[in-house]
Amino acid sequence: MRRTAPLLLVLGALLAGCGSRPSTAPADTAPADALPGAVEANATVVALTDGDTISVRIGSRKEKVRLIGIDTPETKKPNTPIQCYGPEASAYTASLVPVGTKVRVERDAEARDVYGRLLAYVYRATDGLFVNLDVIRHGYARQLTIAPNTAHEADFTAAVQAAQRSRIGLWGTCTG
């Protein structure tokens, strides 16, 4: 016991000091749920998956981003047929943020979904267009509210109700 006590004290001191040192890890090794600069970051669109999922480059990292609050009809989900207005929704999102577009991505309370995608609100850098809201406002998406990511729930509700009343987009084309 006499021999191990000094060793344990030294080991304890070393471990205690580890938590107080500033991190020197590069940004690429930041925790998976962190954006550089905390809850928002500037990014560039590098690919479009469908109407509610894009890929962006944030610094040197590529992130798949799921647009919070909206759900466009499926076009690429395995074992699922292409849904009514899915291709149109994908094309519309692609027209808003084509590859190369500078955007600002902003997190809500929960950073990632079960598939590891970054959950975000996306704003076009050139004019501040709120992409998530624009897609739903023009009838290309249904509202999809999943707590705790509810910061813009009221805006999305109003937009989808207006699109339904006007029977635009999928609301005027798709039945059932």
Instruction: List active site positions.
Output: 66, 74, 117
Residue 148: asked if its preceding bond is cis (omega within 30°), the reply is yes
- Determine the Cα–Cα distance for residues 75 and 167; give it in Å rounded to an integer: 22
Closest CA to 169 of 134, 130, 127: 134
Bridging pattern class, strands 69-71 and 142-144: antiparallel
Pure H helices in 43-169: 86-96, 131-137, 153-166
Closest CA to 92 of 114, 77, 75: 75
